Structure 1
Amino acid sequence: MNYFLYFLLFFALVVVLSSFVTVRQGTIAVVTIFGKYQRQLRPGLNFKVPLIEVIHSRISIQNRSVELSFQAVTQDQANVYFKAMLLYSVLNHDEETIKNVAFKFVDSTNLMQALIRTIEGSIRAYVATQKQANVLAQRNEIVEHVKQQIDKVLESWGYHLQDLQLNDITFDEEIMRSMSRVVASNNLKAAAENEGQALLITKTKGAEADGNAIKIAAAAEREAAQLRGQGIALFRAEVAHGMTKAAQEMEQANLDISVILFTMWTESIKHFAENSQGNTIFLDGSTDAMNKTMKELMSVQMQKLSDQKG
């Protein structure tokens, strides 16, 4: 009798203790009665009917990640190798969503297999419509295509695709080498074009500088010539003024003005001798030649005097 009582007490204690269930933070417990969905238990300490309600599964509502590695073929028959990271989570805490998560698949292994194969199939279908040269530049387009294609499927399973990152996209070794050569040739082409532009700019600037230097030199020469001309004209004017004044004074003194012309003649010969680059000066020293020269100088001087008087 005592043993039976101890058994009843032990059984009652087990029943009472099994009536309380602890659910960890970030998870939801699904309760069934005789195999049928009954309710869900939230994080914390919960009570369930002993021996009748059973914890069917505990569902994590935290984000989960998985790495993918697979191959696809482009439209032009090039092999593309992908390494990706998939981030997904339970869609929400609604009762219908939790029921889908708990009962759609036999276990988490089957869910993971279906999820991975669905994403790989979506990427392969997209890549098959693209050429090899376009795949690398369409990383974002591939991700958007996958999200649009599988979002509804995942929602029917009770999940949501948070993010898909294509961490690595590679090709066969031969294709990678050819792509490297293309990049290198494009870089050389761009460098040559930049060097050509730089040389053109340098030549243009040099030509502009030379043109400006020529303009400045021409302007300076023109100004110098003008100043020289003005100096010569001023010198000639002063000489004419001096000669006129000397001639007037000699005329008032009843002296022969041919003395002035003779002085100019001798001064000219002296100037030739001092500034000539040669060693010999040829002059016609005959009396006729001197008379002719004197008459010419006197006629020029008389013309100037008549012009001033007039």
Structure 2
Amino acid sequence: MTFTGFDIVIPALVILVLLVLFMGIKTVSQGYNYTVERFGRYTRTLTPGLNLIIPFIDRIGARLNVMEQVLDVPTQEVITRDNATVAVDAVAFYQVLNAAQAAYQVSNLQNAILNLTMTNIRSVMGSMDLDELLSNRDQINERLLRIVDEAAHVWGIKVTRVEIKDINPPANLVDSMARQMMAERNKRAQILEAEGLKQAQVLEAEGRKEAAFRDAEARERAAEAEARATQVVSEAIAKGDVQAINYFVAQKYTDALAKIASAGNSKIVLMPLEASSLIGTLGGIGAITRDVFGADGPTAAPRSPARPPVTRTPEQS
């Protein structure tokens, strides 16, 4: 069987058409965008799925990952505003939003983002004191995110997060900070102790004040009662009742002897000879009482008399 030229051309044309179709069909994976260049000029962006281009005229320019990516920022030394040197490392997250800008507005996108982040870390953290740097990490992250995202916006990317991973001051500076913290805690403890002592003294003074007020009130009431009793006796004397004054004197004398007898230091009391004759008045207290209150007056429950103190005259001593 002989083949003519037409028999050879037809299969060649079929193979050429299949090859052209194969070159014109482009499949883009999910999470990626491809740029299309026509004679070296950007024309459009291919999205995930099946796409068609013109073979031999169009070609794929850049294949860009549009998923969120992480960029590790290496450790660098930063000098703070108060001249303290600290080692700082960070991490940045970004996402390509415009494939054309990310491909044609900047060369080496990751390196550009890395240098931009490191530069702004030194700028932001270098404008803060060490204490402010260690205590305001969230504020630092927010400032870095705002600055870096604004600068990288023209590249068609979105910086989603910038996080400071670690801040390492020198060892001698850490020791100084520890001593400062201990001194501050001791200061607060002494202040609290002084305030507690002050409050205790105030409460104690208020307690003494209240007790003195109540003692004075009690003495005032006792004095009022004494004055009332004296007034009653005076009125009785004014009316000619001599027994009232006798009862009043006998009562005072009895109280004085009771105090002498109840003394814990000695039960033997030396009294003048003239004073021993006054003891006889004790026998007349019952009669005076009956004369004052009358035979039908209130009677008290019998009470065992206290043993009178032994008295000695100077001659007996």
Same fold (TM over 0.5): yes
How big is each residue's C-alpha offset from its partner over 1:15-48, in whole Å with a ceiling of 9 and x where there is no partner?
3344333334443221122332121122333222
- DSSP 3-state at the match of 1:215: helix
- Structure 1: how far apart are the matches of 2:251 and 2:80? 103
1:163 maps to a residue whose letter is: R
Shift of 1:9: 3.6
Which residue in the other structure is 2:282 paired with?
Answer: none
CA contact (8 A) 2:145 2:160 kept: no
Question: Are positions 1:160 and 2:158 aligned together?
Answer: yes
Question: Are positions 1:15 and 2:20 aligned together?
Answer: yes
- Structure 2: how far apart are the matches of 1:33 and 1:270? 134
Question: Are positions 1:59 and 2:64 aligned together?
Answer: yes
Same amino acid, percent of matched pairs: 23
Question: Are positions 1:182 and 2:188 aligned together?
Answer: no
1:84 maps to a residue whose letter is: A
How big is each residue's C-alpha offset from its partner over 1:187-223, in whole Å with a ceiling of 9 and x where there is no partner?
1111211221122112112211221121112112211
Shifted more, 147-156 versus 191-200: the winner is: 147-156
Question: Are positions 1:80 and 2:76 aligned together?
Answer: no
Shift of 1:13: 3.2
- Structure 2: how far apart are the matches of 1:24 and 1:271? 119
Which residue in the other structure is 1:195 paired with?
Answer: 193
Shift of 1:237: 3.3
- Structure 2: how far apart are the matches of 1:3 and 1:72? 74
In structure 2, relative to structure 1, the CA distance for the partners of 1:19 and 1:200 (3 Å cut) is: same
Structure 2: segments with no counterpart, 5+ residues: 261-268, 278-317
- Structure 1: how far apart are the matches of 2:163 and 2:50? 38
- DSSP 3-state at the match of 2:274: coil
How big is each residue's C-alpha offset from its partner over 1:264-305, in whole Å with a ceiling of 9 and x where there is no partner?
69x9789969964455551699xxxxxxxxxxxxxxxxxxxx
How big is each residue's C-alpha offset from its partner over 1:48-97, in whole Å with a ceiling of 9 and x where there is no partner?
2234322223323332222223222235543211121212223x44xxxx
Structure 1: segments with no counterpart, 5+ residues: 247-259, 286-310
Which residue in the other structure is 1:306 paired with?
Answer: none
Shift of 1:156: 2.8
1:28 maps to a residue whose letter is: N
CA contact (8 A) 1:273 1:281 kept: no
RMSD in angstroms over aligned alpha carbons? 3.7
Alignment match of 2:55 (pick from 47, 50, 59) = 50
In structure 2, relative to structure 1, the CA distance for the partners of 1:148 and 1:78 (3 Å cut) is: same
- Structure 2: how far apart are the matches of 1:7 and 1:18? 16
Higher share in helix: 1
How big is each residue's C-alpha offset from its partner over 1:1-23, in whole Å with a ceiling of 9 and x where there is no partner?
57765554444334334433333
Aligned residues: 260
In structure 2, relative to structure 1, the CA distance for the partners of 1:270 and 1:177 (3 Å cut) is: closer
- DSSP 3-state at the match of 1:49: coil
- DSSP 3-state at the match of 2:241: helix
Alignment match of 1:29 (pick from 34, 38, 53) = 34
CA contact (8 A) 1:73 1:80 kept: yes
- Structure 1: how far apart are the matches of 2:54 and 2:47? 16
In structure 2, relative to structure 1, the CA distance for the partners of 1:239 and 1:181 (3 Å cut) is: same
Which residue in the other structure is 1:136 paired with?
Answer: 134
Question: Are positions 1:103 and 2:104 aligned together?
Answer: yes
What is the TM-score with the length of structure 2 in the denominator?
0.67
